[in-house]
A and B are shown apart, each in its own frame.
Chain A
Amino acid sequence: MKKDIILGGVGGQGILSIAAIIGTAAVKAGLYLKQAEVHGMSQRGGDVQSNLRISDQPIASDLIPVGKADMIISVEPMEALRYVPMLAADGWIITNTTPFINIPDYPSKEELLEVIANQPHHIILDADAIAKELGSAKAANVVILGAASPFLGLSYEQIEDAIRITFGRKGDEVVNLNLAALKAGRDEADQQMR
């Protein structure tokens, strides 16, 4: 088993929280992991990405080779497209639809979603709306994680466990909210793949 994952977003959107949950699940499953993060300049509202690699064999490079990623998980639609060159021909894009607009020349949302829809394999969901409906906009990243869960090479239960570990300190209410967010994202993915 080997999964190469690109996480995309904008500095401050907390893409590393998704990486941390996947990482926790992977480590608990006894897998190897390498995760290249972006710190520094770009965190000031620039585009940020993380290369997350999990495998049952030791991993050589901290960077995923271009054109070899199994999936792009993005919390922002334009950022999902930025990493298309990284994606393998049969790779998936799992992306939020809510744009983060902090530049004057941000493209039209409709056109963006159309370009994403034209990519071969994709799950597109409004994670912010789904999270708000569940009671907290903060859970949007976990909704996206839920939508990516069929592709991670980890069982759904392993990811649930990782959520319990990650949010355990914050009490049952937060854990349950995030489990619900994970489920909502997963359901959306299942439906879109049908």
Chain B
Amino acid sequence: MQKLMLLGDEAIAQGAIDAGMSGIYAYPGTPSTEITEYILQSKDAKEKKIRAGWSTNEKTAVEGALGMSYAGKRAMTCMKHVGLNVAADAFINSSITGVNGGLIVVSADDPSMHSSQNEQDSRFYGNFAMIPILEPSNQQEAYDMVHYGFDLSEKYSIPVMMRITTRLAHSRAGVIRTKSHEQNEVKLPSNPNQFILLPGNARKQYKTLLSNQALFEMEAANSGFNQYIEGTDKKMGIIACGISFNYLMENYADRVVPYPVLRIGQYPVPVDQVRRLYNECDSVLVLEEGYPLIEELLRGMLNNGKTVRGRLDGSLPRDGELSPNLVAKALGHEVAKEVSVPSIVANRPPALCKGCPHIFSYNALNEAMAEVGKGRVFADIGCYTLGFMEPYHAIDTCVDMGASITMAKGAADAGLLPAIAVIGDSTFTHSGMTGLLDAVVDNSPITVFILDNETTGMTGGQDSNGLGKLEAICRGLGVDPEHIRVVSPMPKSHDENVRIIKEEIAYQGVSVIIPRRECIQTAARRHKADAKLKGKEA
């Protein structure tokens, strides 16, 4: 079959299309976004009537996928690592219910925090849920693992996690499509109690999950994705997980490592293979992207066995992503001294686009806040977080999606007044609505900005589920319609906007200000697409 040049994300998407997936449910988040985007743009997926779209948040995404699995079909759900925190309730409990149609949960980690607020390692979530985890080392494996993962999921009626990291997600290489699998028919679960987690049922289901652990480990031990590669020099054994295997191989021009290597792409950790490596070798070097999961297990709390090297003993940095050079150093290879970046080079941090509507919202907010004082603007995650940077310095917090409104409320409860929340339209529907209800219930004196650029800007302009619905949502949650103010974030409206903001700050209850103008990048993309469509019609 034909070789395609695919990002790791795209390889997963193509794998899902070919493996008979019937639906994908996702909320955007770097580096996972391109999985769903590929399916949304795929003609093949359209012809196969694969359901694809953006969910309101990661929890609704996992639940949607679980519902499709309940109905007997194969489903996938994708998110960035922190999205799994939002979805954790659904995710953990889905391991207790198990699945009917195959279910794959893709969680994309971002070590080095290229576009994230932390570098948590999703493998811990997979272990916590006690489900199999697949971790590809290259794009072809990413493709193949989707086929394998759906089969494994259906074999044991268990969700399967696929864990990737930024480098694989956003790196392109050749992928050969293999088999294709028809979509499943709708079919009810054979056990009508399976999905009712009343304690009586849940205890039984949990026992099944526990007894399956040995089988999952057996699957990992026999898996083609875990490989014990013999080596002659037993002074050291190497465990290489996922993409770190590539960094290891990069350090041997002939691709022959003198040491025994255990390559891991499927979890639970294949203990027998690990034991063999440990027994055969004088010491063990563990290469894993993310947290030192295997290293910690191997070393134990007392660290009184053989020498185990990795992120915990300083052989590798404790944080950040790995690289060929870091692995070279850990192997004890000679590494040429790094030249430094010429001192003339200035930092170029990301910034709001020229003409971005958020700029004018912040200009007005800053002026209105000038007389009030600093430290009172609770913001959120999105392009508008860049309002922290020069020259705006407009915001004081950014923690997790939705935290703006609830933190402003908490600060107002403490007496820090006025308290302002700034949240994007997509973030608002993701997890701001529930917090706004908290504020309404207490009639907290907070002023909430919902920056409505009619898109999910930060992640590349996906449709925003609140489009055209924001005022109705706020009214429905109980915000007084007189204190829902829509303004235009344009220079010419600046003075009027400052006046409105001051009025609403003075109001001793919940008010919502909605600066509304489309993101200029999304608008440009829309115009281009429209023009293309017109060209086709003509």
Contact = CB atoms under 8 A, between A and B. Distances in A.
B462 interface: no
A66 B353 contact: no
Nearest to A27: B5
B353 A44 contact: yes
Interface in B246-284: 246-247, 249-250, 255
Contacts of B341: 81-82, 84-85
A33 B217 CA distance: 35
A10 B459 CA distance: 17
Interface stretch (B163-171, B440-448, B492-500): B163-171
B344 A39 contact: no
B351 interface: yes
A102 B350 CA distance: 10
A112 B173 contact: no
B465 to A, nearest CB: 21
A111 B342 CA distance: 12
A96 B7 CA distance: 28
Interface stretch (A55-63, A160-168, A172-180): A55-63
Given A82-B341, A85-B339, A106 B246 contact: no
B interface bracket (residues with beta carbon within 8 Å of A): 35 or more
A32 interface: yes
Give the most central of A34, A43, A62, A106: most B CB within 10 Å: A62
Interface stretch (B45-53, B97-105, B320-328): B320-328
Nearest to A76: B348
Contact of B172 (A34, A43, A63): A34
Interface residues of A, number: 47
A42 interface: yes
Contact of B170 (A38, A65, A104): A38
B342 to A, nearest CB: 5
A107 B351 CA distance: 18
B7 A37 contact: yes
A101 to B, nearest CB: 10
B174 A61 contact: no
A87 B341 CA distance: 11
Interface string B223-251: 00000000000000000000100110110
8 cross-chain pairs, A with B, having the tightest CB-CB distances, nearest first: A40-B115, A40-B30, A46-B350, A61-B250, A41-B115, A60-B249, A44-B350, A62-B171
24 contacts: A23-B172, A27-B174, A33-B5, A35-B171, A37-B172, A39-B34, A39-B170, A39-B460, A41-B115, A45-B351, A60-B249, A61-B249, A61-B250, A63-B167, A64-B324, A66-B325, A67-B336, A67-B338, A84-B342, A87-B339, A102-B348, A103-B347, A107-B345, A115-B344
Given A44-B383, A66-B323, A85-B338, 16 more contacts: A23-B172, A34-B172, A36-B167, A36-B170, A39-B34, A40-B31, A40-B115, A45-B352, A58-B255, A60-B255, A61-B250, A61-B324, A63-B167, A78-B345, A102-B348, A107-B345
